[in-house]
Amino acid sequence: MRIHIATGSNLGDRMRHLNTADEALGVLGAVLRVSPTYVTAAIGMAPGTPDFLNRVVELELSSHWHHQPAEVMECLLAIEQEMGRDRLPSGVLSRPIDLDIVLWGDQTLNLPSLVVPHPRMLSRRFVLKPLADLIPSQPVPGTGKTVTELLCALPEDVPQIAPWPNPTASPTATS
């Protein structure tokens, strides 16, 4: 079973956090590929909030995890917690790491703790672009469109992202 996990960080050594999370995902299976990394403004957060680094990881789950999506999500939450993330029920906060299952093969999931495809990925360039770098022609279940088609259909007002590292990035984007 091949799944795709969107990863992001906007606190501390963001690249180190992403790399550490990639390594930690090994408890679930084999990391096959990692998309390029992108810098993204902290959307919906207070002015001056550090930018995010985002990418997508393609993971081949060990057979033990194939039919346990809720347990895989619990494992991701445990990795986040071990890396210093506090999840609060209200508000969007800066975080050293964020791990979201965006695709579970070609399946849709609607569980109390997990909905896949990730419900907000369809409006997020910072998820669709790195996903398109890995699987451009893969259909996204429930949409009738490929990842690239969804990316191209994003409205112009959806914030842009930039490749990382970016020599012309602002100081907040490079720290």
Which pLDDT score, from 0 to 100, does residue 166 have?
65
Task: Say if residue 31's pLDDT is above 90.
Answer: yes
Catalytic-labelled residue, pool 14, 51, 55, 98: 98
Q: What is the pLDDT of residue 90?
A: 60
88-126: pLDDT as tens digits: 666 667 889 999 999 999 999 999 989 999 989 999 999
Residue 168: predicted pLDDT: 54
One of 55, 95, 124, 125 is an active-site residue; which one? Answer: 95
Whether 2 is catalytic? no
The single residue of 14, 51, 55, 100 carrying the catalytic annotation is 100
Q: Is 85 a catalytic residue?
A: yes
Mean model confidence pLDDT for the chain: 91
What burial class does residue 147 get, using C-beta atoms within 10 Å of its C-beta: 0-12 exposed, 13-18 middle, 19+ buried? buried
Q: Is 98 known to be catalytic?
A: yes
Based on the residue annotation, tell me whether 51 is a catalytic residue of this protein. Answer: no
Catalytic residue among 85, 86, 87, 133: 85
Q: What is the mean pLDDT of residues 43-48?
A: 83
Q: Is 133 exposed, middle or buried (0-12, 13-18, 19+ CB in 10 A)?
A: middle
Mean pLDDT for the stretch of residues 57-84: 95
Q: In whole angstroms, give the CA distance from residue 147 to residue 138.
A: 6
Instruction: Assign a CATH topology to domain 2-174.
Output: Alpha-Beta Plaits (3.30.70)
Q: What's the rounded Cα separation, in Å, for the pair 46 and 50?
A: 9
Output the pTM of the full model.
0.91
Average pLDDT, integer, range 12-32: 97
